[in-house]
Amino acid sequence: MNSPQTAAFVSGYEVRAKSGANGEFGGELLEIAMGPHHPSTHGVFRMDVVLDGERVVKLKPVFGYLHRNHEKIAEDATYLASIPYTDRLDYFCSLTNNWAYCLAVEKLAGLQVPERAEYIRVITAELTRLQNHACLGGFLLQDMGASGTPLMYAFREREKILDLFESLTGARMMCNYMRFGGCRCDLPDGWLEQTRQVLAGFPRFLDEFERLLNENEILMSRTQGVGVLSSDLAVNAGVTGPMLRASGVNYDLRKVDKYGIYDRFSFRIPLGDHGDVYDRYMMRILEMRESFNILSQALRDIPEGPIVDPKAKIRGFRPKAGEAYGRIEAPKGELGFYLISDGSPNPYRYRVRAPSFINLTILEDMCLGHHVADVVIILGSFDIVLGEVDR
């Protein structure tokens, strides 16, 4: 499927230009490098694209420009010192990253999270999902040429949520809030009230955002039927998150694993029919509505009580030897941390299963045969963050 000579694409397009005997393109195919400084490739991501006219016949993703040695640094640092580094994986969703890592360590050390802390985790994680999906919508529309307006509306909402994060955790993006066996500090006075106020305005934003572009004829012709991901391919490639559900596969770790206290909330999992860019975009909008439901339930039910397991130690934390895998449904897909402990203060092995990275592996299959302009929006609908892809 990759070779230009034998390409038979899902879109029914056939390659006209032939490559030379020695594999050269003979001047008929054009190889271009999109990125790492291309405005539409999110972050420092490069694609080597081979074009036949305007059509993509080969695409090679190149990443690693933002490699920061996260996994190896974590093997030299104490368990606690890795939490601020996990913030910097997917820097849009630092709180869900914290949660996945803490979940793995809690499994390793056998810590119990108090009920109030579980509720705080759900609330912060769903707020994270709201602001991540709002921004993804904005960025995707920006990639399609709706320059500025939807993105600014999304950022206006995100700002309110970031203010909530700042008054709770002290930082807007690098929250560093969750701890093994609970959370770092209790909710400040009036935080829940403030959150309710912000959430009360959120459905209006969603309605506006949907009215703004969802029925736009240009948007529909750009996105419908573009970048179709079949459910078989999605499952085989290990794609997770909204991308997988947009292809019609009902798999959400909040329902499958029921980690934390997600079994207490009633919410639905939206599913797509076609698996195209439009479905992936709508998936995010629908998920925001479901997250809003979860948040309303969590804010209603949150109990008083301790916020951290008294057995958890800040200094001199040494879980017993063993291994653990903690995974959660992060806004971008299944985020997992695999840890091996040898009983020392730092992990023996530390591995991150980053959803954006694994989702990116099928980029070529989805782009082949499409116009080069469609590559940009197909990539935009993936929702990647390079901090997480390269680690």
Partner 1 sequence: MLGKGIIQGMVETARNFAGSYVSGDRLVTVQYPEERLAQIEAARNFPFLVYDGEDWQQGLRCVACQICEKECPPKCIYIIKDVTKKPDHTGKLQFQPKVFDIDISVCMSCQICVEVCPFDAIKMDVEYELSTADRFGQLLLRKSDLARPNAYYHRIHPTEATAVDAHLATERAKAAAKSKPDSKPAA
Binding site for partner 1 (CB under 8 A): 77-78, 80-85, 87, 149, 153, 156, 159, 163, 166-171, 174, 176, 184-185, 188, 201, 208, 211-220, 314-315
List, in order, residues 6 or more apart from 215 with CB less than 8 Å away. none
Provide, rounded to whole angstroms, the least separation between the CB of residue 200 and partner 1: 11
State the residue for tokens 């995010």. 284
| Measured CA distances, 309 to 110, 114, 301 (Å) | 10, 6, 20
Provide, rounded to whole angstroms, the least separation between the CB of residue 172 and partner 1: 9
Provide, rounded to whole angstroms, the least separation between the CB of residue 81 and partner 1: 4
Provide, rounded to whole angstroms, the least separation between the CB of residue 177 and partner 1: 10
* Integer Cα distance of 121 and 125 in angstroms: 6
* Integer Cα distance of 342 and 348 in angstroms: 6
Indicate the residue among 23 and 170 with the shorter CB distance to partner 1: 170
Burial of 207 (0-12, 13-18, 19+ CB in 10 A): exposed
DSSP alpha helices (H): ranges in the chain? 70-76, 83-87, 94-109, 115-143, 149-169, 191-200, 202-213, 217-223, 231-236, 242-246, 253-256, 277-301, 355-360, 363-367, 372-380, 386-390
Indicate the residue among 23 and 201 with the shorter CB distance to partner 1: 201
DSSP-based three-state secondary structure for 353: strand
Indicate the residue among 188 and 305 with the shorter CB distance to partner 1: 188
Provide, rounded to whole angstroms, the least separation between the CB of residue 180 and partner 1: 12
Indicate the residue among 193 and 215 with the shorter CB distance to partner 1: 215
Indicate the residue among 41 and 131 with the shorter CB distance to partner 1: 131
- Which amino acid is located at 285 in the chain? I
Provide, rounded to whole angstroms, the least separation between the CB of residue 165 and partner 1: 10
Indicate the residue among 34 and 213 with the shorter CB distance to partner 1: 213
* Integer Cα distance of 71 and 344 in angstroms: 17
